[in-house]
Amino acid sequence: MSQPEVLRLDRISKRFGALLANDDLSLALRAGEVVALLGENGAGKTTLMNVLFGQYVADGGTITAFGQPLPPGNPRAALAAGIGMVHQHFTLADHLTVLENILLGTRSLWSLSLDLRAARVRVVALADQFGLAVDPDARVGSLSVGERQRVEILKALYRDARILILDEPTAVLTPQEADALFATLRKMVADGLSVIFISHKLHEVMAIADRCLVLRHGKMVGDVATGHTSPDALAAMMVGGEVQRPKVAVGVAGPALMRLEAVTTPDREGAPGLKAATLSLHAGQITGIAGVSGNGQAALSDILSGLAAPASGRLLLGEAPAPARWTPAGALSAGVGRIPEDRHKTGTIADFTLTENAVLETHARAPFSRRGWMDWRAAADHARAIITKYDVRCPGPEARIRLLSGGNMQKLILGRVLEAAPGVILANQPVRGLDIGAIAYVHGQLLAARDRGAAVLLISEDLDEVMQLSDVIHVMSEGRLSPPLPRGAATMAELGLWMAGEGFDHAA
């Protein structure tokens, strides 16, 4: 490589109690280079990047950026050195607007030298350039998870980062927008931008990265040029063996267990509601919902899980109308299991233990409740069974769930829902943040639930996932649901057009 070295991490180690998250790790990055950082959940990727960005202080090792030592534990120094990071867990202020969040930390919001009009123009231009549509005046607290990720990307780009750390940056984009983002990144890389790219989508890694670094259990186990490897080889390196992907056969549709008939809901804080949406969830079938985040998926999930009621239209359970007072407790009693989009805000309670979180939705039932008293031994045994079966990497069932990585939180939620064997499963971004081995396992579990007769609704921004698993696909755009598209009836490009709203225009 003829380009100069812009970053070096040398023998970084970081321990959390008995857990050695980073074990003597070293890496180098050159100007104009894209390096993919790969590994299972809990492999140490996020910890290493947080050490680089100054949010953690390493127990050992040094960092050099552009030839100068980077002081430990100082995010402001990392920003000043030209390092931008899009965190896996967002660092946004809910009560501030998108524009205010992007400007936060650049200087005082009340500085006389701060030109808000010029800043807004620049943010809008960056959003258009990268295909990251977001309202600069929207309150962040009103945004979906996907929209918040867009704000994080814009924050880094606004600060003129010379080293950009991207964690799953395309999770909220259509295929066309992802292609546009990659094209823009390539232009910026040609001008000297360096990128550390964290993704579980190995086809993206192969398309954008020059080199792949693979972590396993906190150690570096691979450093290979992308042109000299393959997705299967990378996957095997990540998990320490061949990944067994589930075989997907077409499901045999049974009766409709849940239906929407021309349901409309109001828009909320800039987020679209449903627009006369009609949908049938059949036993023995996976129904996929594709679409860019923020196009009505939250409204759909809220209606089905009892968090909202239709303004017009009907919700039916089988052939009977849902109760007039449709609540989350009623949905659980009706056999609806929910894997929520936001594992932090609505999926778990951060200061509860894994045991408490494992029985959040079933604590009032046997065997966890006996004559009104909790049986904590049964609850702990249940949590241990989920930890073992779903490979939740944690200190134990009594650990606070906030201490887990995002992927391991997700595994506990999945286990909590799937082990209850609900008749209807609302799986909203079920594998977001999971590694390739965990994704294969979760997909296998969803297929097994379908084959035992459950109706599965899969809401995902990953078109590969939707196309691989779904028996029937609907596309959401601005609160509208496309007609049902049987497996194989539409290409990825055609689904992308529906996601952009063009399919609805032609259908009209």
Q: How high is the pLDDT of residue 318?
A: 93
Both tokens assigned to 165: 């750390």
Distance (Å, rounded) from C-alpha 387 to C-alpha 394?
A: 8
pLDDT of residue 506: 57
Contact 416, 365 (CB under 8 A): no
Q: How far apart are CA 285 and CA 473, in angstroms?
A: 11
Residues contacting residue 121 through CB under 8 Å, at least 6 positions apart: none
**Secondary structure E strands in 53-156:** 60-65, 68-69, 83-86
pLDDT at 12: 97
Query: Each residue of 477-502: pLDDT tens digit?
Result: 999 999 999 998 988 888 888 887 87
- End-to-end, the C-alpha distance of the chain in Å comes to 54
Six token digits for residue 353 = 């233990």
- Residue in this structure with the two tokens 């906190």, named with its chain if needed: 218
CB 109 within 8 A of CB 163: no
214 phi/psi in degrees, rounded to 5: -120, 125
Contact in structure between 97 and 136 (CB atoms under 8 Å): yes
Helix (H, G, I), strand (E, B) or coil at 501: coil
pLDDT of 303-336, one tens digit each? Answer: 999 999 999 999 999 999 999 899 999 999 999 9
**Nearby residues of 338 by Cβ (< 8 Å), 6 or more positions away:** 301, 305, 328, 331, 417, 426, 428
Q: Comparing C-alpha atoms, which of 401, 425, 419, 417 is closest to residue 348?
A: 401
Average pLDDT, the chain: 88
- Angle separating helix axes 175-190 and 116-130, nearest 10 degrees: 110
152 to each of 29, 370, 414, how far by Cα in Å? 22, 47, 26
Taking a C-beta distance cutoff of 8 angstroms, is the pair 400, 409 a contact? no
Tokens of 431: 């594998």
Give the strand pairing for 336-339 and 424-428: parallel
Please, which residues bridge with residue 13 across strands? 60
Separation between Cα atoms, residue 458 and residue 452, nearest integer Å: 16
Q: Are strands 312-317 and 60-65 parallel, antiparallel or unpaired?
A: unpaired
Give me the tens of pLDDT residue by residue for the chain, a chain 508 residues long: 578 999 999 999 999 887 899 999 999 999 999 999 998 877 888 889 989 989 899 999 999 999 999 999 998 899 889 998 877 667 889 899 999 999 987 775 555 566 788 999 999 998 887 777 789 999 998 887 667 778 888 888 888 889 999 877 776 565 666 777 788 788 878 878 899 998 878 888 999 999 999 999 899 999 999 999 999 999 899 888 877 788 888 889 999 999 999 999 999 876 789 999 999 999 999 999 998 878 899 999 999 999 999 999 999 999 999 998 999 999 999 999 999 988 888 899 999 999 999 999 888 888 888 888 899 999 999 999 999 998 888 888 999 998 887 778 888 999 999 998 899 999 998 887 677 888 888 899 899 999 999 999 999 988 888 999 999 999 999 999 999 999 989 888 888 888 878 777 655 4
CB 389 within 8 A of CB 440: no
> What's the maximum distance between 2 C-alpha atoms anywhere in the chain?
73
Cβ(461)–Cβ(429) below 8 Å: yes
pLDDT at 183 (0 to 100): 81
DSSP 141: G
85 forms beta bridges with 165
- What is the token pair recorded at 189? 């890389």
Q: Which domains does the chain have, with CATH numbers?
A: 5-239 (3.40.50.300), 245-335+422-508 (3.40.50.300), 342-419 (no CATH)
> Residue 46 has what pLDDT?
83
Residue 24: how many CA atoms within 13 Å on its side-chain side?
A: 1
CA 146 from chain centre, in angstroms, equals 8
Contact 146, 153 (CB under 8 A): no
Q: Which residues pair with 83 in a beta bridge?
A: 163
* 3-state per-residue secondary structure call for 384-432: HHHHHHCCCCCCCCCCEHHHCCHHHHHHHHHHHHHCCCCCEEEEECCCC
DSSP 210-243: SEEEEEETTEEEEEEEGGG--HHHHHHHHHTS--
Return the pLDDT at 442: 86
Q: Is 319 helix (H, G, I), strand (E, B) or coil?
A: coil
Determine the Cα–Cα distance for residues 198 and 213; give it in Å rounded to an integer: 10
User: Do 435 and 41 touch, CB atoms closer than 8 A?
Assistant: yes
Q: Which residue has the tokens 């180690």?
A: 13
**Sheet with 277-282: strands ordered across:** 277-282, 256-264, 312-317, 320-321
CB atoms within 10 A of CB 401: 25
Q: What's the rounded Cα separation, in Å, for the pair 304 and 307?
A: 8
pTM: 0.71
β-strand partners of 480: 477
Of the candidates 236, 221, 223, the residue with the CA atom closest to the CA atom of residue 24: 221
Token pair listed for 149:
């990720």
